[in-house]
Chain A
Amino acid sequence: MLKFFLTRLATTIPVLILVTFVVFGLVLLIPGDPAVTIAGPDATVEQVAAVRVRLGLDRPMVVQYWDWITSAASGDLGTSLFTSRPVATSIGDGLPVTIALAATALLISLLIAIPTAIVSALRRGTWLDRVSTIGSSLGIALPSFWLGLMFVLLFSLTLGWLPATGYVPMSRNPGDWLLHIFLPALTLGIAGAAESARQLRGSIIGVLQQDYVRTARAKGLRGRMVIGKHVMKNASVPLVTVLGLQITALLGGAVLVEQIFGVPGLGQVAINAVTTRDIPVIQGVVLVAVVVAMGSNLLVDLTYGYLNPKVRPR
């Protein structure tokens, strides 16, 4: 398993290098000259040129890239063009919040999806199954910004159970943290829950027809063991694939949900940077997002190795 992990880790390095090219190249694709933006609308040509020199934008691309990548490798992602804060600090503030939000959303979505899928697969064709299928379709179809607003309307404004906006770090007060993160996480997780439930229901139904499930029953194993062990380990493979895709979607969705609920995560940092064309921050956010996505894909592959022994190298 360690060898599998290391070989898989090694294959991410070329991808990572490629990604840094793309992230760096983004700057070239963005319309507008940052030097002009920084210098302000009334600046003279000389002033713009001076700003360009100060920021190092006049140097050859290769030099700029090398500079950027070596600093990034040592954790220095540059400084914001506007706030003059180090980019790494802004990301360091926002990233844990976004990760907490996405992880909670993922947890909530699995807590909804797994029992729903098992019940619907075992009671296939009954009203329970139909209700959950309709629920899944709705969950996939409803946009998260609308759902988020409805949740705020219901749970915060009408029932008054949960705060509508804001965020409390877990380190300060875990109880408050949970109260604040629950609605955003539910909003973010519900589409994933619907998708996972549908996928898992299908694969459970497929696995239930396998001969080895009959063998498990013939051994006299209890229903809980047959489903929980023999069926679920095999049925989880397609679910893990879906989850791998969902993790990236969760990061994207978090941007929106953070806006709705006023959660100070990476999404806020990204949106501010994009509206002000704060290129070092954009680059930093994209790079971090890509690394997180690649990390989650790595995790997915390792999970495959656990679930399906055939995937492991020998």
Chain B
Amino acid sequence: MTAAPTTPTATDTTLEVENLKVDVLTEKGWATVVDGVSFGVARGETLGIVGESGSGKSVTCLAIAGLMPPGQTRVTADTLRLLEHDLTALSPKEMADIRGPKIAMIFQEPMSSLNPAFTVGDQIAEVLRRHEGLSRKESRKRAIELLDRVGVPSPARRALQYPFEFSGGMRQRVMIAIALACNPDVIVADEPTTALDVTVQAQILELLREIQEEHGMSVIFITHDLGVVADVCDRVLVMYAGQIVEGADLAELFADPQHPYMEGLLAAMPRMDNPSDALVSIPGHPPRVGDMPDGCRFHPRCGYATDACRTDSSPLLERVAPGHTTRCLRHPELTLRGSP
């Protein structure tokens, strides 16, 4: 690595990832879906990871949490550190001890992420019984408090209900209560608002923000929605075809993108201030897993690509400014358009 992306000082870093690589078993053999991803997250920081579906953003986080199916996946990393734990050295059992109290997840589909056969209260309470050794009675009481905290009305009654009796937004609140139960140091929110209505989306984002302020945890926010990124993130990593292609603080990334892909994403954002503009999109499709183009992985879709982009080996992630990295050969010569 010529330059690690903005890595905060080791003491306040809750999660540190260096050169993470994830291979999955496909019909045609092993294929790399996450290739050399490195980043760190500071306490209290919200790190956004953006990219199209299939860019490897979810796999990155599932791999960190040890949730990729063993046997069909290979996860390697130079460093994978969560607080004082070296995750590469932990057994699956030890990983399970960490999931919940140290790192918790919120998933995209609140409809299917809760078990239909158990009450909502029980699904929250079991985390507390597992990790904090609470009794049934204590854990039930705590579950009701958590439901109250995440804004579920009449929590004592609702705790006894099943997921199908909840709306999408309310279910996502339940998921947040589950994630919050053991007061984790890192919360990974994998597209938590994608499946929700816009108004509900805003409420859930607000709730996540409040909770983060209260507890000072690190949040990794995975999304493909730059509007959401602008709303909640402090710092952003842009992923494309399994690699980080750009990383910067939010304001800088939007104002001064250094990778053509990020420029394309910004241009593709629908704008309220100029509704007459037709919607812009990046031409082409991301490459398929196991079928990566030579050179820069973005070159087939890039308007600035030259022969060097097509033939040279994949460009390295380079530092262009303090805390700003990009994976583009031509970044010194290009002036890319940001978001006004």
Say whether A214 contacts B96, CB under 8 Å.
no
Say whether B113 contacts A211, CB under 8 Å.
yes
B97 interface residue (CB < 8 Å to A): yes
A31 interface residue (CB < 8 Å to B): no
Q: Which chain B residue lies CB-closest to A216?
A: B115
Say whether B114 contacts A309, CB under 8 Å.
no
Known: A216-B115, A233-B118, A309-B164. A211 touches B130 (CB 8 A): no
Say whether A212 contacts B101, CB under 8 Å.
no
Give residues of chain B (84-135) contacting chain A, Cβ–Cβ below 8 Å. 93, 96-101, 104-105, 107, 109, 112-118, 126-127, 130-131
Say whether B127 contacts A220, CB under 8 Å.
yes
Give residues of chain B (251-303) contacting chain A, Cβ–Cβ below 8 Å. none
Max count, chain B CB within 10 A of own CB: residue among A217, A233, A234: A217
B65 interface residue (CB < 8 Å to A): yes
Say whether B117 contacts A218, CB under 8 Å.
no
Say whether B130 contacts A308, CB under 8 Å.
no
B202 interface residue (CB < 8 Å to A): no
B114 contacts across to A, CB distance below 8 A:
212, 215
CA separation between A308 and B117, bound complex, in Å?
A: 6
A268 CB to closest chain B CB, in angstroms? 42
CA separation between A220 and B103, bound complex, in Å?
A: 9
Say whether A309 contacts B96, CB under 8 Å.
no
A233 contacts across to B, CB distance below 8 A:
115, 117-118
A225 interface residue (CB < 8 Å to B): yes
Question: Chain A contact residues: over half helix, strand or loop, or mixed?
Answer: helix
B236 interface residue (CB < 8 Å to A): no
A310 contacts across to B, CB distance below 8 A:
116, 162, 164
Max count, chain B CB within 10 A of own CB: residue among A215, A218, A221, A229: A218
CA separation between A221 and B67, bound complex, in Å?
A: 12
Known: A211-B113, A309-B117. A222 touches B162 (CB 8 A): no
A225 contacts across to B, CB distance below 8 A:
126, 130
When each residue 185-199 of chain A gets 1 if its CB lies under 8 Å from chain B and 0 otherwise, what string results?
Answer: 000000000000000
Say whether B116 contacts A230, CB under 8 Å.
no
| B115: contacting residue among A220, A222, A223, A234, CB under 8 A | A234
A271 interface residue (CB < 8 Å to B): no
B222 interface residue (CB < 8 Å to A): no
Known: A212-B115, A308-B116, A310-B116. A219 touches B99 (CB 8 A): yes
A151 CB to closest chain B CB, in angstroms? 38
CA separation between A217 and B296, bound complex, in Å?
A: 36
Known: A211-B109, A214-B67, A218-B105. A230 touches B98 (CB 8 A): no
Say whether B116 contacts A214, CB under 8 Å.
no
Say whether A219 contacts B127, CB under 8 Å.
yes
A69 interface residue (CB < 8 Å to B): no
CA separation between A230 and B115, bound complex, in Å?
A: 7
B115 contacts across to A, CB distance below 8 A:
212, 215-216, 230, 233-234
B178 interface residue (CB < 8 Å to A): yes
Q: Which chain A residue lies CB-closest to B115?
A: A212
B113 contacts across to A, CB distance below 8 A:
211-212, 214-215
B48 CB to closest chain A CB, in angstroms? 20
Known: A211-B109, A310-B162, A310-B164. A218 touches B99 (CB 8 A): yes
B93 contacts across to A, CB distance below 8 A:
222
Known: A215-B107, A218-B104, A220-B130. A309 touches B99 (CB 8 A): no
A307 contacts across to B, CB distance below 8 A:
117
Give residues of chain A (69-90) contacting chain B, Cβ–Cβ below 8 Å. none
A210 interface residue (CB < 8 Å to B): yes
7 contacts between A and B (CB under 8 A): A214-B107, A215-B113, A217-B96, A219-B127, A220-B131, A222-B93, A307-B117
Enumerate chain B interface residues (CB-CB to A < 8 A): 65, 67, 93, 96-101, 104-105, 107, 109, 112-118, 126-127, 130-131, 162, 164, 175, 178
Q: A218-B99, A219-B178, A220-B98 are in contact. List 17 more A-B contacts (CB 8 A).
A: A210-B112, A211-B109, A212-B116, A217-B99, A218-B65, A220-B96, A220-B99, A220-B101, A220-B131, A221-B130, A222-B93, A223-B96, A230-B118, A234-B116, A234-B117, A308-B117, A310-B164
Enumerate chain A interface residues (CB-CB to B < 8 A): 210-212, 214-223, 225, 229-230, 233-234, 307-310
